[in-house]
Structure formats: structure tokens, C-alpha cells
Chain A
Amino acid sequence: MSTDLGFWVLQMLNALQLSMLLFLLSVGLTVIFGLMHFVNLAHGSLYAFGAYVAASLSGAFGYWGGFVLAPLAVAALGAVLYFTLIRSMRRAGPMAQVLVTFGLIFVAVDATRLIWGDLPMGSAVPKTFEGQLALLGVQYPIYRLFIIGLGLTVLAALTLVLSRTQIGAMIRAGVDNDQMAACLGINVERMFMSVFVLGCALAGLAGAVAAPVLSVTPDMGLQILIPTLIVIVIGGLGSLKGAVVGSLIFGFVQTFGAVLLPTLNSVLIYALLAAVLVIRPEGLLPAKG
């Protein structure tokens, strides 16, 4: 079977789809870290919140209602978090940040259980993307192709904004040296807030897109957290390119590991992470040279 071209195409698409989902999550987390040096372990919970909002709204407003409203809701939640917790924890050191956001995970998991209950929720694929498409000799669900396309679109948009616009230049300056950026008249504080909220919105978007393919459960945020962290640590904390490379590495290692080396699969990605940390402690493509 593994000599069959269709098999490789299929696994390649699966790997790409996983990579793009992880990219949507990790890009927000990594840019927040690069800019603010803030480790937000609750990022996965924001993704879960997005998935729940999308799943519950899809009944009333259809899939696209949830698709638009979930990122907005998560962004609003992110803004609330920013002003209540994140801003005052910014200079507190990594351990305090890890702990506060770890506490947030506890609260978030129980809050979702309280609001939506313990049972998994489902949400339907939109009508436009139902069915399968024949591609290079394999049948592949259109919705999953949509996820790949969405990830690539977000990637293109972010690359464009970061490399070609003034806001992008300001953000890059902030990642490089926030004090110097502030001296040059950039309102770093406001930029932090916008980037944090945008990162949250992307997590919400990831949740909304993931809702129809994964089951929406209270612990989905916790489950996605470790892969997301692996992605940004492999790629290098704070860099957009790192998030892309990290997502692709994770997606491909995980998918091809599962079919080619099923016995070693789960250990493989952690071993890779450990190897990266030993050889290049700052990740493959760190934000700062």
C-alpha cells in the first residue's frame, strides 16, 4: 500500500491539514511570546472556547455565523484577560506566568463544563463544503481542503502584514527590542494589546474550524496545548517562520509516524523536540539572530 501514490497524497493532505490547524493556534502564541515574553498556557482554552461558541451558534446562525462570531467572542475574552491578568503579569517572570495561566486552564475547563456540560458537542460541516473532491487520484473531504486553504490564507496575510506594512514593521521592531521601539515613539503597550487580542481571535478561529472535524469536549484545549507548545519551541519562540516550520514538522512527523512507525509514533515527536532543544536550545528559527 505504501508504494501507492494515492496513499502518499492522502497522508500528505492529512499532515497539511493538521499543520494548518496547529499553525492557526501557534502563530498567535508565538507572536505574543516574541513581543511580550509572555507564556500563555491558556491559549488552548481559548481555542476550546472558540470551538464551543462556534458549535452552539451553528444551530441558530449556521456554520458561517459561528465562523465569524467565535473569533470575535474569543477576542473579547482575550481583551478581558489582558486587562485583568496579563498586563500585570507581564514582568513577573516565566514561572509566575506559567502558574497563573495554568490556573486559568483549571478555571476554563470547569467553566466550559458548567456552561456546556460534560458531553461532547458536534457541529455540522457547512453545505458548501460537504462531500469529497477527487484530487490526484484520491477522494478527499472538501472541508479539510478548506482548512488547508484557510491556514495558507492566514499565513499569506500575516506574512504580508508583517513584512510589507508599517504595523508589521512596528511589530517586528517590538519583537526585536521593545524598549528601543518605545523610544522611537511606538505605543508598545497598545501594540501588545492588539497583538494579544489578534492572537486570541486566531485561536478562536482555529476552534471554530476544528469544531466540525474534532469532537468538542471540555478537555480539547488541554489536548491541543502540548502540540502547540511543541510547535513553537521547535520553531523558535517568537518567530512567524518558526511557527510555520514547526507546524509543518509536527503535522508531518505525527501523521507519517502514525502510519509508518505506529509503535514509536507518540515518542517520536517528543524525541525530536528533545533533540532540537539539545542541539539548538533557541529553536530552529529563533526570532532574534
Chain B
Amino acid sequence: MFRHTPLRLTTLGLMAAGSLIYAIIAGFFGLEILAEIAILAILVIALDLVAGFGGMVSLCHGALMGVGAYAFTVAANEAGMTALPAMVLAIALSAAIAFAIGAVCARSIGIYFIMATLAFGQMGYSFVFQSSLFGGDDGLSGAPRLDLSALGIDLTDSRTFAFYAIALVALAYLVAALTLRSGLGRSLVGLHHNEKRLRALGLTVWRAKATAFAISGAIAGLAGCLAAQHTQYISPGLMSWTVSGEALVVVILGGLGTLVGPILGAILFVVLKHEISSITPYWHAIVGLILIAVVMSRANGVFGFIEARIAARTRTRKPTLKEADADA
């Protein structure tokens, strides 16, 4: 089950403080990077919720994010909605589509689940790529940013927008953590461990899986809304399966099933990407090599590695049964 260990809380606190301080002092380029990290962080929180805790490794989360981004942009531009209702609509639509995908794929496990989600994701991608309503391969521009002038907040300013993005990451994290601590979250983890046992206990398996997938989809839709508001331009590339693959890479680099780790992974990934690509145009190869090394090392990403190290140290220093229990 998901627990907030002192290490996790400390890491969360440090990341929150660090990003807030950075948002105050950074220049324009730094703020852009911060927003980029926030979008990726929300997406990987969504992915870790289902992949890390429910064992549902999805390759359609990029597409779900795209659903959010496109629904938001179309609702705001074509239907003339203001930003807030458009966001609500976009998130609801992402959740509904994710629920349907989750329900359909609930019977598939392992590689079949990965392939099925890949198929649905690519279906959405090809649909948007060809559709004239969604601008085809040209994409859509002109998504508005949320209007918070009633509260005296101006989101067109990039510094304010960075704070807003950080707030949305916190919101996404909160939703994910609350879901995991709820009965649904416990069922999800139980399903990952032993589906037959949960079925014998009377759980409607497909509904639990689909609901968890819907919540994850809603968070991915939120990431999409933020992405659309950030660059105010969206293209089908957002929905391609490689985006989902990259999100999975970030979850793994950070630490699968830790919820905190993937956020750390998102920070590392975006910073590394910008650092490496300023040195060499072949940054994908470097990321690929790091990924292979991390997976081959059998450590659970950066955060999982730190957690295991600290757990091992506490255990050797004071090998009491109680502490070993708490670490598990």
C-alpha cells in the first residue's frame, strides 16, 4: 500500500521548495523549463498511479493527455467556452475515454495490456492526425490561458504561469495519493498482487480497474490542459505513442510505484534533456543508454535506489522487527 514515509515527505518538501524558489529567481527560459517539467510531472503521476500500483502498464497516456489538450482547445476556440469550464469538460472527457479503455482492456494482462493500450492510443493519434476539425497534422493554436483576473492573478505572465503549473502538479499528486489511500487504491494494489483473490473477495474487477484508469486519465487530461495553455499550440505529436513511451521511461528512471520518484524523474529528465541537447544532438541515445542501464541494474529507478539504500542502512544499524516491518 502507498505510505508517506519520512523520506517521501522530505523529498516532496524539497522538490516543492526548490521549484517555488526557482520560480521566483529563474529567467524566462528557466520558467519555460519549469512549466515543461510540471506538464511531464502530472503525466507521470497519472501513469504511475495505474502502472506502478495497478500493474497496468499503459502506452496510451500520451494520447489521453492529447485528448485533454484537444478537447480544451476545441471547447475554448470553437464552442466559445471560457477556460475554466473548458478545462472541466476536457478532464471529464479524458476520464470518460480512459474509463472505456480501462473497461475494455480489463481482461488483458501483461504484454497484451501494453499492446491494447498502444492500439487505442495510436487510434486516437491517427484520428486526430487526419481530422480537419482538429487541424490535422498542422495542429491547433490559440488555446486561452485560464483567466484568474478576478483573483488578481495574471496567467499570461510566465512567472505566474509557472506558479500555477506547480499548483496543478500539487493538485494532481493530491488526487493520486488520496485515490491510493482510498478503498479503490487498496483494491488496485490488491489486484496487482493477486487478481483471483480479489475476485473471490467479491470485487468487481473490471469496474475497479476502469475506475482507476479513469482517474489516471483525468490527471493525464489535466496535463493536456496545462500543455495547451503553456504553448498555446498543440499538434498530434502530443498523442504519439513515443510520448507515452517517454512518460514510461520517466516513471522507470524515477522509481515505479513510489509516486514521488516519477516527479523526481520528470525533473531529472527535462533538465538532462536540455543539458545534453546543448552539448550533442544525439541526446536520445544517451537517454536510451541510461534507461537500459537503470533497467538492467534492477534498481527501482533513482528514488527506489535511494529508498532501498536507506532501508538497508536502518536495518543494519538497528535490526528490530518493527522497523523492518515499516520499511516493507
Contacts and interface: CB of A to CB of B under 8 A. Distances in A.
Interface stretch (B167-175, B196-204, B285-293): B285-293
B291 A98 contact: no
Given A103-B295, A233-B115, A271 B123 contact: yes
Contacts of B51: 95
A7 B233 CA distance: 42
B123 A106 contact: no
A85 B292 contact: yes
Contacts of B289: 103, 107
B209 to A, nearest CB: 14
A39 B57 CA distance: 14
Identify whether the interface residues of B are mostly helix, strand, loop, or mixed: helix
Interface string B157-169: 0000000000000
Given A100-B291, A281-B107, A266 B115 contact: no
A252 to B, nearest CB: 18
A114 B291 contact: no
Interface in A124-159: none
Interface in B237-252: 241-242, 245, 248-249, 252
Contacts of A267: 123, 126-127, 130
A89 B120 contact: no
Contact of B112 (A222, A226, A277): A277
Nearest to A278: B104
A106 B130 CA distance: 27
A110 B282 contact: yes
B21 interface: no
B120 A270 contact: yes
Contacts of B281: 113
A270 B248 CA distance: 22
B101 to A, nearest CB: 9
Interface string B104-136: 110110111011101110110011011000000
Contacts of B241: 226
B123 A98 contact: no
Given A106-B287, A237-B111, A281-B107, A266 B127 contact: yes
A288 to B, nearest CB: 14
B296 interface: yes
Name the residue in A99, A270, A271 with the highest tally of chain B Cβ atoms < 10 Å from its Cβ: A99
Contacts of A92: 295
B284 A99 contact: no
Q: How large is the interface on A (under 10, 10 to 19, 20 to 34, 35 or more residues)?
A: 35 or more
Contacts of A100: 291-292, 295-296
A109 interface: yes
A118 to B, nearest CB: 9
B103 to A, nearest CB: 10
A270 B295 contact: no
A182 interface: no
A2 interface: no
Interface string A228-265: 01100100010000000000000000000000000101
Interface residues of B, number: 39
Contacts of B119: 230, 233, 270, 273-274, 277
A213 interface: no
Contacts, number: 112
Given A226-B122, A237-B111, A106 B284 contact: yes
A95 B104 contact: no
A104 to B, nearest CB: 7
A68 interface: no
A94 B114 contact: yes
B57 A98 contact: yes
A109 B111 contact: no
A102 B108 contact: no
Contacts of A99: 248-249, 252, 291, 295
Contacts of A3: none
A113 to B, nearest CB: 7
Contact of A88 (B114, B126, B296): B296
Name the residue in A39, A85, A96, A273 with the highest tally of chain B Cβ atoms < 10 Å from its Cβ: A273
A93 B111 CA distance: 9
A147 to B, nearest CB: 25
The 10 tightest CB contacts between A and B, nearest first, are A106-B288, A266-B126, A110-B285, A270-B123, A103-B291, A103-B288, A107-B288, A103-B292, A110-B282, A94-B111
Interface of A: 39, 85, 88-89, 92-96, 98-100, 102-107, 109-111, 113-114, 222, 226, 229-230, 233, 237, 263, 265-267, 270-271, 273-274, 277-278, 281-282
Interface of B: 51, 57, 104-105, 107-108, 110-112, 114-116, 118-120, 122-123, 126-127, 129-130, 241-242, 245, 248-249, 252, 281-282, 284-285, 287-292, 295-296
Given A98-B114, A99-B248, A113-B281, 5 more contacts: A104-B288, A111-B285, A266-B127, A270-B119, A277-B112
13 contacts: A39-B111, A85-B292, A103-B290, A106-B288, A107-B285, A107-B289, A107-B292, A113-B281, A229-B115, A267-B127, A267-B130, A270-B123, A277-B112
